[in-house]
Chain A
Amino acid sequence: MDWSYTIWIPLLPLIGFLIIGFVGRKLPYPVPGLIGTTGIFGALVLSYITAYRYFFVANTAGSFEPIKGVEMLWMTFSDKLHFNMGVLLDPISVMMLVVVTTVSFLVHLYSIGYMKGDPGFGRFFTFLSLFTFSMLGLVVATNLFQIYFFWELVGVSSYLLIGFYYEKPSAILASKKAFIVTRFADFFFLIGILVISYYTGTFDFLTLNGMSESTLASVGSASFMGMSVLALGLTLAFIGGAGKSAMFPLHIWLPDAMEGPTPVSALIHAATMVVAGVFLVARLFPMYYHVDGGSVLHIIAFVGATSSLIAAIIATTQMDIKRVLAFSTMSQIGYMMLALGVSGYEGHHGLGYTASMFHLFTHAFFKSLLFLGAGSIIHAVHSNYMTKMGGLRKYMPITHITFLLAALAIAGIPPFAGFFSKDAILDAAYMHNKIYFWIGWFVAGLTAFYMFRLYFRIFWYEDREYHHTPHESPLTMTLPLMILAVLSVVAGFVFFYFLPFGTYITPTGEEFHMHIDYFLAGISVLVGIVGIVIAWIMYFKKNDKAEKVAKAFGAFYKWTYNKFYIDEIYMFVTKKIMFGIISAGWMWFDTYIVDGSMNLIGNTTVKTSHALKKIQSGKLQDYVYGVVLGVVALAVIFIYIWTR
């Protein structure tokens, strides 16, 4: 079968980017938006065709072979290492193509309404197209270096979009922070790539994943601090992924990234770019599993579980609705990491892997729906703070219903999408380690609580007077909400019962049967309902219970509200130590020692010359005097030598 057309999936948004960037930026509303949306629509159609052909025509269920649609040499490093660019099609990349193009298309559509009247309308779509191109290039990467290439590009698109309102100081700070924190993680990623490629001699994913346990053990036999070098390389690569996916303790940029326009948060910081870290681990999963007996997976599971717990706790106290969603995103991505970390490889043991991808898939829909809903609310109320909201259900019926559906989905209430994927994750965790299961279980309860806290606080709580009466958003904004709401409802059971993920997306490409463990599902739904009920008690009607609870928790509440002061620790290390002590110290050294010694040489020369020039007086008698003295001195010396 011919797959070469797949190169157009990333290229169409690139063409859109170039057209808008060079000529379309100044065109009248909504032309730039339409150009961008058309480009991504083309990519969407091609992705769906590709998905259909890949899953149903080219392969039969249960034996999905990776296919290289396109591959070409981009740069030569050495005789052994080549930097290729191409399109790799395998179950997860095809799934990601569908997710990215779907969400991106809907976000483009939504933005045409949301960004109306903004002077940077054209610029917004330029960046959005650049992002979509980069993200698509990332998911189809055939090798480590290609993924790094696009990894950096999505990072910069994210930077540009977070700093979109570039006159706002908070946006500037947030964009810088996002870029630098992820860049810091990428530094480890890059070294990881260098380590892996040095020992294995390749960047290619298929070659890397195809290596058997014994091959990996022999090529990576050297060890570094008790770890085999390949395990070290994979850990470093995971740190890069953890930075992009906002895992603890590299998560600090994500909440601040909410300074960007809300559609951006929905696309980049909820559905696509932030799951790149999960995707990276999944992409190299066979290697992670086979190196050192999967020791790196333990780290991944631990980081995932910790992140999901910490984020869920912080989310319960935040007042800015986008920040609640940001921490929720971090928590859900923690789930995905946890699932990968606890996953086995063959047959039913690969459930964690499948569950992770399943959750990535469903989460993309309901979380982008939540963000777009939040955007619609912010658009109407002109504030991010839930204290400025309440009783909005009367004014914004569509936003209300779609938000409720998304909240039910993320809370894991059957039959909504989140229930199936989350249940699969908890199942996988239970098989691996009970502690992880109970952490996940507790997080499920917290998730339901903070989500419904948000829901009740925004749409019920109190009927308040608004300065401008809020009104429902236009159709370009509500239509994407409705589409995503449908997906949030059906994506779970369709891909559980009719086109089960276990058939299509597994570590080995061989199918297994997914089923529901009714005991585990029962207790996790139960904890979800408990969370919703608590939220209902505290926030359904206006009351002071929430403050009382906050008081009861005392210092712990304060710590949580301040996100455990992690930002402050970072600020101290970077501002005070890195740039206060090292940078200032070296600058002092440069000015006074390095340059000072150069000036000293110069000045000494000048001074010496000033001293010496007196000898050159121009008076003949002085010179003769010198000559005579010299002759006498020489005479004395020679006489002394001869008479010895």
Chain B
Amino acid sequence: MNILTLLVVIPALTILGLIFTKGYKQARLLSAVGMGLQFVATLYLVYMYFQARGAGNTDEFLFEQNLVWFKSLNIHYHVAIDGIGVLMMLLTSIITFAGVFASWEVMDLAKEFYIFLIMLAMGVFGFFIAQDLFTMFVFYEIAVIPMYVLIGIWGTGPKEYSAMKLTLMLMGGSALLMVALLGIYFNSETAAGLHTFDMQELSKMHFPFAIQKFFFPFAFVGFGVLGALFPFHTWSPDGHASAPTAVSMLHAGVLMKLGSYGAFRVAMYLMPEAAVYFADFFLILTGFSVIYGAFVAVRKTDLKFINAYSSVSHVGLILFALMMFTKTAFTGAILQMISHGLMTAMFFGLIGMIYGRTHTREIHKMGGLMKILPVISATYVIAGLASLGLPGLSGFVAEMNIFVGAWENPNLLNRVFSVIAISAIVVTAVYILRVVGVLLMGPLKNPEHANLPKVKWFERVVIILLMGSIVGMGTMPLWITDTIREGLVPIMEKFVH
């Protein structure tokens, strides 16, 4: 079987198997095995990819499979992958695997919980390998819909409101996206005189500027909603705050990346001239959101809200980098997708561990956790340092590529917003250190917290998986940057004038 299809089949089979399980123990065991297999299969994909590249295969996309799906509409099930996709798959499988362990203690309706969780993951896996816009859109919806159920049922706080808000806003994004996809479809024409959704074919066509100009905002904003593009980011804080731990991890870690990834690989790649045309507008929006998210995070007191606004700032940086049109900045954007995915999953995982023990996320109701929960606290500090861009951790690698790349664009507006975006490194330090100072340091604030249970084995698995990846990426970035740069070659051709 094609390895890429296998990566969709494994989650699908896991879901199928889950239907027949009884009790939470069976369900979580099967999920762990299934996602463990998926993780191994992804590592194998990485191995295969580098072997193929090492053997001198210079095709843009590898492991291609193309089956006709709806003949009359020329829709295909078309999957293939390049270096960037391989990295995104790896990210997704790490976070999904960690997510299963992070929800180890979900006992209510555990079977259903895992089914929806893995369905979400399956959608993401499918999205990253899809080469046909229609296939991609199907997987995209598969990933977005389970969120509603997961938050609505297993969430906390005002979960119905948050679930509704999140789903509606994302559906709004999907609607815009659908317009753009249909627009592209009906303006395409293959050699056989048919319309097509195939991205590889579409990328070879040149759409008239007027068409691009009309549909680009639909596609970019449509994906941008999921990528927390300011001012369409407000689903994210509420959604994350209400979502259960693993859902937050998956959602912020990988699902939000579908937005920025799609904005890049679909909107900008297929409509490059319109992208350049609208660059200044989106540059202002995204550059502002970088500093905006950071400043709002300074004032928030709920851990998940702080992290959600921190995410607005960090994913803002991804879209910001995309507006620079330099290879280094694009590399930085992809790196930031990976780095932010790992970091934010780590954060949400840790917040879940803390919340599970103290039953509060208000930082002022806790204090001095360092003494009680040394492992979790130390990990929180390291994740925080990664988030503020400490060298040796993943954030630094991504941010430096973005900043160096941003500076390569000599327009004055880009310069101004680069400085603004870079200044966020200071504000980020403020909100991270504030949380560390209030939450972890200091004397124990709440005496009830004196006997909180120590870190458990499955929590250690989450920490090791994610922290290991963060440190690995931060200390040995060369193979990742080179893989990305290789993948960017055909994309860059679109932006050379």
Contacts and interface: CB of A to CB of B under 8 A. Distances in A.
A583 B397 contact: no
B391 A153 contact: yes
Given A180-B426, A598-B165, A583 B441 contact: no
Contacts of A582: 295
A587 B308 CA distance: 13
B425 A78 contact: no
A191 B434 contact: no
Nearest to A585: B295
B404 A78 contact: yes
Interface in A565-596: 579, 582-584, 586-587, 590, 594-595
B442 A167 contact: yes
Chain A interface helix/strand/loop/mixed = helix
B396 A152 contact: yes
B404 A156 contact: no
Given A180-B429, A183-B426, A75 B478 contact: yes
Contacts of B478: 73-76
A187 B433 CA distance: 17
A77 B407 contact: no
Interface in B277-305: 292, 295-296, 298-300
B391 A149 contact: yes
A387 to B, nearest CB: 27
A150 interface: yes
B385 interface: yes
A343 interface: no
Contact of A579 (B298, B396, B477): B298
B298 A75 contact: no
Contacts of A590: 234, 292, 296
Contacts of B442: 166-167, 169, 172
A179 B433 contact: yes
Contact of A76 (B231, B299, B485): B485
B327 A78 contact: yes
Contact-residue size bin, chain B (C-beta under 8 Å from the other chain): 35 or more
Interface in B385-405: 385, 388-392, 396-397, 400-401, 403-405
A184 interface: yes
B430 to A, nearest CB: 6
A541 interface: no
Contacts of B419: 191
A64 interface: no
A184 to B, nearest CB: 5
B423 A187 contact: yes
B481 interface: yes
A114 interface: no
A194 interface: yes
B227 interface: no
Contact of B404 (A74, A77, A169, A583): A77
B390 A156 contact: yes
Given A167-B441, A583-B296, A191 B422 contact: yes
Contacts of A166: 370, 440-442
A175 B385 CA distance: 14
A153 B433 contact: no
B277 to A, nearest CB: 25
B407 A183 contact: no
Contact of A586 (B168, B234, B295, B485): B295
Chain B interface helix/strand/loop/mixed = helix
A197 interface: yes
Interface in A128-179: 145, 148-150, 152-153, 156, 159, 163, 166-167, 169, 172-173, 175-176, 179
Interface in A62-94: 73-78, 81, 83
A602 interface: yes
Contacts of A73: 478
Interface string A182-220: 011011001100110110000000000000000000000
Contacts of A190: 403, 422, 425
A167 B169 contact: no
A77 B326 CA distance: 11
Contacts of A183: 388, 425-426, 429
A178 to B, nearest CB: 10
A68 to B, nearest CB: 19
Contact of B391 (A152, A172, A583): A152
Given A180-B430, A595-B234, A77 B405 contact: yes
B265 interface: no
A78 B492 CA distance: 13
Nearest to A81: B404
Contacts of B392: 149, 153
Contacts of B440: 166
B437 interface: yes
Given A73-B478, A75-B478, A194-B404, A587 B234 contact: no
B429 A179 contact: yes
Contacts of B368: 167
A80 to B, nearest CB: 9
23 contacts: A75-B401, A75-B478, A76-B482, A78-B408, A81-B328, A83-B400, A152-B391, A152-B396, A153-B390, A167-B368, A175-B437, A179-B433, A183-B388, A186-B425, A197-B407, A198-B407, A579-B299, A579-B430, A583-B298, A587-B300, A594-B231, A602-B164, A602-B165
Interface of A: 73-78, 81, 83, 145, 148-150, 152-153, 156, 159, 163, 166-167, 169, 172-173, 175-176, 179-180, 183-184, 186-187, 190-191, 194-195, 197-198, 579, 582-584, 586-587, 590, 594-595, 598-599, 602
Given A166-B440, A186-B425, 19 more contacts: A76-B481, A76-B485, A77-B400, A78-B404, A78-B405, A83-B400, A149-B391, A153-B392, A167-B368, A167-B441, A175-B433, A179-B429, A187-B425, A194-B404, A195-B407, A583-B295, A590-B292, A594-B234, A595-B234
In the A-B complex, the 10 residue pairs with the closest CB atoms: A166-B441, A595-B234, A149-B391, A194-B407, A583-B295, A594-B231, A172-B437, A183-B429, A78-B328, A176-B433
